[in-house]
Amino acid sequence: MNPAYDFSGQVALVTGASSGMGLATARAFAQAGAAVVLADVNEAALREAAGELESAGHRALAVACDVSDEDQVAALVDRAVAAFGRLDMAFNNAGVQIPPSDAADEDAAVFDRLDRAEAAAGQPIGRLGHADEIAQAVLWLCSPGASFVVGVALPVDGGYTAQ
């Protein structure tokens, strides 16, 4: 295990975790030693993903959750803390999918659902950053772990720009 990515004893929450980037990230957190809380609306795929991690000897918890529902998100966090005693990090990967359409043809309920999902994703931590937190991001960007990250602005701001 790369010591820069040693999450032993920590708990990671990943939304949209039943497939794609979410599942890949849940696997990476588990391989780095974290207990992983997997959340998704696709319950069958979610159980399968958590089962895969558990079969590999990792600690995992599957929680069905629609991130556009504030009560479900609060219950998700409560379940994570109840199961593992803490929650250290979250990868808010889940998105809300709607069928392709002309925006002018959609009603306000569609946009409200999208807004609720995006609002639930932000997590400003409410404190000033420390220089070493910026330095860690720079080290990561210069590491092999960021080999496919090119030409991107990486806000290291505690969620300030997500507000």
Q: What pLDDT score was predicted for residue 3?
A: 61
The CA distances from residue 14 to 8, 46, 59, 152, in Å, are: 16, 11, 13, 22
Instruction: Report the topology of domain 3-123.
Output: Rossmann fold (3.40.50)
pLDDT in tens, 5-24: 789 999 999 999 999 889 99
Give mean pLDDT, residues 116-121: 59
Predicted local confidence at residue 60, as pLDDT: 99
**What residue spans define the domains of the chain?**
3-123, 130-163
Segment 62-90, tens digit of pLDDT: 999 998 888 999 999 999 999 999 999 98
Tokens 């980037």 correspond to 21
Helix (H) or strand (E) holding 12: strand 11-15
